A and B are shown apart, each in its own frame.
Chain A
Amino acid sequence: MKQESSIYHQSKSAIELEHDIVEKAKKNVRDFAPIYKKYHAPILQFVYLRLDDKDLAIDVAQQVFLKAIENLQKYEFRGLPFSSWLYRIAINELNQLFRKNKKMRTINLNESITSDLIHEMEDEEFALHKERLAIILKKISAAEFQLIEMRFFEKRPFVEIGELLDITENNAKVKTYRVIQKLKILFKAEAV
């Protein structure tokens, strides 16, 4: 069978099937179970990537699904995977938490992310000083880091980043590029 054209990581038919489940769940919340099953793990990992506390991450993830069910009647299908709506709820929930306590925000850096990001900065010299990346990532704003996190930590396509942050795909590209330019400047400044 020929694969239908898809956005993100799902085929059009999979997105429509998901929509049918959501419509059923609007009448009976118990029918929401397959959606929960499908997205619980990615949402939990998404939340945990941004937090340090495992139990808190589990609680926030549950809260994301609770909010989704509570507001299911207001959900309007726009041809996108249901996950984009869940991620947006998760972003809002996390932002609420960070507004109360900025220390809850966590940068979880690993070797692979560092390499990808250094590679993107296109400067061989930076590769020699990878340790600086951890320092300079703390110097950019939360909004700027969010772009880097989604693009390089989570490997999301720009179209999805745009959807999650409610900006256009092009805007997501431009903004991410600007942050990389800023990181380059900060990298060089750190060397001085």
Chain B
Amino acid sequence: MKEAKLNKNRKPLSDEEVQKAENFDDVLSRLESPKENFFQKNWPYIASVLVLGIIGVFMLGGSDKKETIATEKKQFELITPINGLNILNTEHKLIAGEEGQIVTKTGTIIKYPKNAFLNASGNPVKGEIEILFREFHDVIEIFASGIPMEYDSASNKYHFESAGMFDIKGMQEGIPLTINPDFPLVVELSSKQHGDYFNLYKLDEKGKWNYIEKDTAKKVYTQQLDSIGLAQLPQRIKTLEKNAEKTLKAQKKADKSFNKLLRENNIYQPSKANNELYSIQLKSDKNEFPELVPFKNILFEITEDNVDFTPGLANKDWDDIQLKRKNKSEYLLIMFDDLKKHTFIVRPVISASNLEGANNVFDNLLSSYDDKLGGKLLSERTVRDSLKKVYKAISDSVNILNNFASRQAYEMSEIEKSTARIKRIFTIDSFGIFNSDCPQKLPKGAVFEPIFVNGKDRSDTLSFNHIYMAELNKNALFSLYGYWGKSKKQKSGEGSGADYITQEISFNPYNKTVIWGITLDNRLAVIKPNKMSLLKKGGNGDVEMFVSSNEINDLDKLRKLLGFA
């Protein structure tokens, strides 16, 4: 206050003076005619610029598109805090003039109506255009992008808590486009942040955020994320299962019909022995059972129907064993001893190792029989085998889709648990950087005046022009501007730690806070929450920072380093 002027017993303004100064219309006129005032104040300059502009248009013939575009508002130039680390644009090619939508990897949807894009002359664009889009969802992405997060409301400074931001541009052959205000785009931004207290803002060409409107962000749950049609998958599987069921029925019918033909013509079709059932090797009578004659190594399997059979019976010495035909496919095995006759139902089978040879024999037999039956046998078998193949193909598809659906459902549920559940809807009639945000005041509770030093070498005092602060439970990036660093004395090799220039930093000791910055000699230095908690009583003095010696060229690395992962 040294330079303040001191007045003693100065009277306040009198009622008359106050009344004279009262002029609401003057306030309104300042509000309503800024352009007029600007023109009035600057008319000589404006006139000269207009004259030069007109001359310029004549000299250039007025037809060069690029010259026209030069009148477009430039986007605010963002400066990324870490060289080489940024959020890159994704290019989406589309046909202008037609309506459609773009779905990004995060599930964000950009819907564009017909004739949504205009060229520099204000005419709707036709043909292929490029939409450049990037989105920012967490503190690290916002920090890396260099997007300012301060908001000035009537000279009151706020910091944004973000529910998501995006940057969108349109180009045709490298020439910027604009959005037709009559046909705005709708951006459904995937957001990780819940809550309905966010507003829509746009960054202007001077780097200031302008409030657009409230309540344009709406909750939309994740079924809209289902760009791969996962929601329709169960129905598709159900339809396939029904088809499989029908095919199986038809296949069984064909199988039955084929087997009937075999039985009617007394043709034995080899079947594989069941390892769980008992089989006996017997020599059968060639005349009584001619169907078995072409096959070697036939076994007689005791069928599941013989509930009284025990393996001990097979090892017993029998007085006599007889084989009789029960029906076209089954046989009876009758065993005699002194006292009793034991009868078991059996069927001829082939062991697994002999099955291939037996099938070859069967195929040859079938061809010779088929001639006699006028091709009926082979045609029946072809129908049956085709149906078998179709059934297998459908069953495989069902299995694949079922596996896919359960895997996707799991992944979706994981995404739902951890990431986007809400979409915030923006209707935009211009390209640029948009933000779904809520203004916040700087955290308070504890205050400290640091001398920032390198934790590995306390003689290495750190200098910053800009300090960043974030709380792990909030998606807000707080920017603190000023100077923390060596004084001129220190820089010239004189002076002590007491000459360090510092200023107060306040934070909320009840939240997990991270503070970091890029030093003037380009090193990333950070104080993680566990170290911040040591500062909750405030005070002055050395504050150790972890200084990274590695190059930061990866967002995940940065997340880990700052304690966000």
Contacts and interface: CB of A to CB of B under 8 A. Distances in A.
Contacts of B5: 52, 103, 105-107
A41 B155 contact: no
A127 to B, nearest CB: 17
Contacts of B10: 108, 110
A33 B4 contact: no
Interface in B47-61: none
Interface string A77-115: 000000001001100110010000011011111110000
B154 A41 contact: no
A139 B30 CA distance: 39
Interface string B536-565: 000000000000000000000000000000
Contact of A109 (B7, B15, B28): B7
Interface stretch (A3-11, A62-70, A117-125): A62-70
A177 interface: no
A146 B155 CA distance: 18
Nearest to A69: B31
B317 to A, nearest CB: 104
Nearest to A45: B12
Interface string A151-192: 000000000000000110000000000000000000000000
Nearest to B11: A110
B154 A85 contact: yes
Contact of B21 (A44, A109, A140): A44
A85 B154 CA distance: 9
B24 A36 contact: yes
B337 to A, nearest CB: 103
A54 B17 contact: yes
B8 A139 contact: no
A106 B3 CA distance: 9
A100 B257 CA distance: 103
Query: Which DSSP category, helix, strand, loop or mixed, fits chain A's interface?
Result: helix
Query: Which DSSP category, helix, strand, loop or mixed, fits chain B's interface?
Result: mixed
B27 A65 contact: yes
Contacts of B24: 32-33, 36-37, 65
Contact of B1 (A44, A85, A145): A145
Interface string B146-169: 000000011110000000000000
Contacts of B154: 67-68, 70-71, 74-75, 85, 88-89, 92
A58 B3 contact: no
Contact of B153 (A29, A37, A71, A166): A71
A118 to B, nearest CB: 15
A96 B10 CA distance: 24
B7 A106 contact: yes
A102 B31 contact: no
Nearest to A131: B8
Residue among B17, B154, B441, B444 with the most chain A CB within 10 A?
B154
Contacts of A40: 18, 21-22
A47 to B, nearest CB: 10
Contacts of B8: 109-110, 134
B189 to A, nearest CB: 22
A49 B12 contact: yes
A89 B155 contact: yes
A105 B153 contact: no
B77 interface: no
B133 interface: no
Contacts of B4: 102-103, 105-107, 138, 142, 145
B27 A69 contact: yes
A62 B15 CA distance: 17
B310 interface: no
Contacts of B1: 105, 107, 137-142, 145
Interface of B: 1-10, 12-13, 15, 17-18, 21-24, 26-28, 30-31, 153-156, 211, 441, 444
Interface of A: 29-30, 32-33, 36-37, 40-41, 44-45, 48-49, 52, 54, 57-58, 61-62, 65-71, 73-75, 85, 88-89, 92-93, 96, 102-103, 105-111, 134, 137-142, 145, 166-167
24 contacts: A36-B22, A44-B13, A48-B13, A52-B5, A54-B17, A57-B13, A58-B21, A65-B27, A69-B28, A74-B154, A88-B155, A102-B4, A103-B4, A105-B4, A106-B4, A106-B6, A107-B1, A110-B9, A137-B6, A138-B2, A138-B4, A141-B1, A145-B4, A167-B444
Given A29-B28, A85-B154, A102-B3, 14 more contacts: A48-B12, A54-B13, A62-B23, A66-B30, A67-B154, A67-B155, A74-B154, A74-B211, A92-B155, A93-B155, A107-B1, A109-B8, A137-B6, A139-B2
